[in-house]
Structure 1
Amino acid sequence: MQFFMKLRIYSNLSHKTFRYVALFLMGMTLAVSTAQAEVRIKDIVDYEGVRDNQLVGYGLVVGLNGTGDRLTNTLFTRETLIGMLNRLGVNIRDKAIQLQTHNTAAVMVTATLPPFSHGGSRIDVTVSAVGDAQSLTGGTLVVTPLQAADGDVYAVAQGSLVTNAFSAQGAAAQTVRNVPTSGHIANGAVVEREVPVHLGQGGIIHLALKNPNFTTANRIADVINKHIGKGIASVDDPRTVAVKLGKRNPSQTLYRIGDLTITPDTMAKVIVDEAAGTIVMGSNVRITTVAIAQGNLTIQVNNNPQVVQPNAFGGGQTAVVPQTDINVDTDNNNKMAILQEGPSLASLVTGMNALGVGPRDMISILQAIKADGALQAELEVR
């Protein structure tokens, strides 16, 4: 079974507690290692040509309670408002300088157009302020065309915003929860134009692996050839598996392929987050025999500045005198241990656990083992 183990033990836990937790997790690992984890092909691949499309638009939010853009500062909001009113038959351009409303805000509207979206279907949109609006809470987005990268309009958005935010301000304090200048409209856009998806052009469908791997790609091809048709699937590269359709229907073929299961292969990798003290190791991690000496040295530095107050009639000045206390604690129970070569992650955890080391010390040990060449895995430090 492919799995990951994550140990995050804070520094205030004793080595004894750490050993109990590690042994418990190792027991769980050994208990589930007898089974093989199989995943559906459709969960680990993408179908070539089936993709989302990003949409963007510029519009106005109205109905704000005095928290919109200041028209004297944001000229683009004022010009947009004037243009919208002109299209609606209200000509105020000659008196535009007198506009002082704070109930309008210029916004950018973004959305994702899923594949196979048809005209009339609805999608969610996100609305974000562009100018100096303080909050979009309670506002309504007016009709806003949403364009794709090719410049064509694929959807039109309109509706009431939901920000899930709170903002309150007084003379001397301000409280803000979440982000009041960004909102969401569920099903806020209507699809006006479809993006054509051509499955199986040229009689071939390409499956793109989300995590490129030669072993996984060959396992996918083998199971397709076994259950769908002999010789129809082949591996082009670690990321791509080509499936020949022949006279098969593309949709039905993808349906059958998607429900097939395989056991994906994973790379031997150790991920270390030094800031959080987190270590994640894959089940394929291997080590060769290596000896480790672990020493514990604790240095505690405390800065306790002291304020010196001279005699009031002595002519001196009040000053801060730095005072530093340094305590050094060396553990004399240092020991050297040998981590024997083992077939799995369990042996690595057991060996380090025998030394009584914590996660942060284990990070240094892993880096030293990798430098020595005894860690047969990729070490990624973040």
Structure 2
Amino acid sequence: MRRMISTFMQCLGRGTVIAIVVCAGLSSVHAADAVRVKDLGKLKGWRDNALFGTGIVTGLAGTGDSPANRTTRQSLANVLSQFNLTIAPEAIQSRNVAVVMVSATLPTFAREGDTLDVTVSSAGDARSLVGGTLLITPLKGANGRVYALAQGGLSVGGYRYDANGNVVQKNHPTAGSVPNGATVEVGVNAAMLDERQSVTFVLSEPDYTTANRVATAINSQLGASLAKARDASGIEIAVPVAQRDELVSLFTKIENVTVEPDRRAKVVINERTGTVVSGGDVRISKVAISHGDIKIAISNQNSASQPYNVWNGGPDIRTAIVTNTRIDVDELNGTGFVSGTNTVSDLVQSLARLKTSTRDVISILRAVKAAGALHGELVVQ
């Protein structure tokens, strides 16, 4: 462990990006790769449900929708009509109201009375929702059924103030949230067992090797051949009759089974931030690398040419501007070496010793991939 910490500190001394690549390889060598099954995916049927609705935000200090917005006037008239106040939409002239879109996420095992966080965004021409209050809004699912009711004061992480043509704005004041602003009215309970009285565990990253290892580990833990990998992402687990009334206990045992997942060789490059992340098992075949840099600088120097006795000359004698151009070519010594059969971590570590910049490391990795020497997937973000 002390050796790993010492090596990691040396990586940080060479640069952040280089440390990410090299130390990623060190961790894969020295650290255990066994993880719990629950960290590799989830049981089929576990899913969140999107809820959506339209509502009204009131209490705005003149920053709401303009009186010309027919949707806002009609919505406010509909709300007032529920309290025996009949007002024509054309008679409503208020900038303290805004029509908004309301959204929330309903968890898998939500029960009646649970609270949800709500996101509110302006749907009209409101300038700011700061200080507003969301009126009670039904939130519907994709099937058109109301699952939750939302209301409450908005929390907006910004502001906008304007006066006499001057505007001061921070972040996006036309969007906000209501923490715990929705109450679940209809609970959701996912059916875990299918018609064959079995459950299916779905991997987050499909892989045939990992699926087979998960099935083998579950069978070893349960002491019976109950799990079988159906494809690269699904492992079907038959539930014995004696345990169908104790699914929580069975799922607990399955989730805590440890497996060593198989990883695909992948190198991720982000050219905008100069980040390179690679696993330690990405192999590189024998390849010759030569990388140089040529810098060309062109400079112009302007000077005035003053003829002799110009003040006593004729009309054709005058001062002239002369431009002198200078071109400097500086060819730096390029890095050149032959890389044997090793990994991306070894290659980047070698480039770090040669004091190669991060941008050059990215260019070299892309060239190695184009040459067919990098045996893995190169992801450029």
TM-score of the two chains, using structure 2 as the length reference = 0.84
Percent identical pairs in the alignment equals 38
Which of 213, 221, 229 is the aligned partner of 1:227?
Answer: 221
Q: In 2 relative to 1, CA 30–191 (structure 1 residues): closer, same or farther, beyond 3 Å?
A: closer
In the other structure, the counterpart of 1:263 is 260
Correspondence list, 1:180-219, <5 A: 180-201=173-194, 202-219=196-213
In the other structure, the counterpart of 1:352 is 351
- CA positional deviation for 1:354: 4.6
In the other structure, the counterpart of 1:250 is 247
Contact in 1 for aligned 2:58/2:132 (Cα 8 Å): yes
Structure 2: state its 5+ residue gaps: 1-12, 304-314, 316-322
Aligned partners of 1:19, 1:103: CA distance in 2, in Å?
A: 53
3-state SS, counterpart of residue 223 of structure 1: helix
- CA positional deviation for 1:297: 1.3
Contact in 2 for aligned 1:158/1:188 (Cα 8 Å): yes
In the other structure, the counterpart of 1:83 is 78
Contact in 2 for aligned 1:270/1:379 (Cα 8 Å): yes
3-state SS, counterpart of residue 265 of structure 1: coil
Structure 1: state its 5+ residue gaps: 1-16, 307-313, 315-321
Contact in 2 for aligned 1:59/1:141 (Cα 8 Å): yes
Q: Give the letter aligned to residue 39 of structure 1.
A: V
Give CA-to-partner distance per residue, 1:183-203, whole Å, 9 cap, x none.
111111111112231111221
Aligned partners of 1:326, 1:149: CA distance in 2, in Å?
A: 67
In the other structure, the counterpart of 2:145 is 152
Which of 41, 46, 56 is the aligned partner of 1:60?
Answer: 56
3-state SS, counterpart of residue 363 of structure 2: helix
In the other structure, the counterpart of 2:366 is 367
3-state SS, counterpart of residue 292 of structure 1: strand
Moved over 6 A (4+): 301-306, 322-325
Aligned-CA RMSD value = 2.8
In the other structure, the counterpart of 1:340 is 340
Q: In 2 relative to 1, CA 207–191 (structure 1 residues): closer, same or farther, beyond 3 Å?
A: same
Count of aligned pairs: 348
Give CA-to-partner distance per residue, 1:300-326, whole Å, 9 cap, x none.
5679999xxxxxxx9xxxxxxx99976
TM-score of the two chains, using structure 1 as the length reference = 0.83
Q: In 2 relative to 1, CA 189–19 (structure 1 residues): closer, same or farther, beyond 3 Å?
A: closer
3-state SS, counterpart of residue 334 of structure 1: strand
Which of 22, 31, 36 is the aligned partner of 1:35?
Answer: 31
Contact in 2 for aligned 1:18/1:358 (Cα 8 Å): no
Q: In 2 relative to 1, CA 259–85 (structure 1 residues): closer, same or farther, beyond 3 Å?
A: same
3-state SS, counterpart of residue 237 of structure 1: coil
3-state SS, counterpart of residue 212 of structure 1: coil
Aligned partners of 1:18, 1:272: CA distance in 2, in Å?
A: 18
In the other structure, the counterpart of 2:271 is 274
Aligned partners of 2:38, 2:338: CA distance in 1, in Å?
A: 44
Q: In 2 relative to 1, CA 190–22 (structure 1 residues): closer, same or farther, beyond 3 Å?
A: closer
Q: Does 1:69 align with 2:62?
A: no
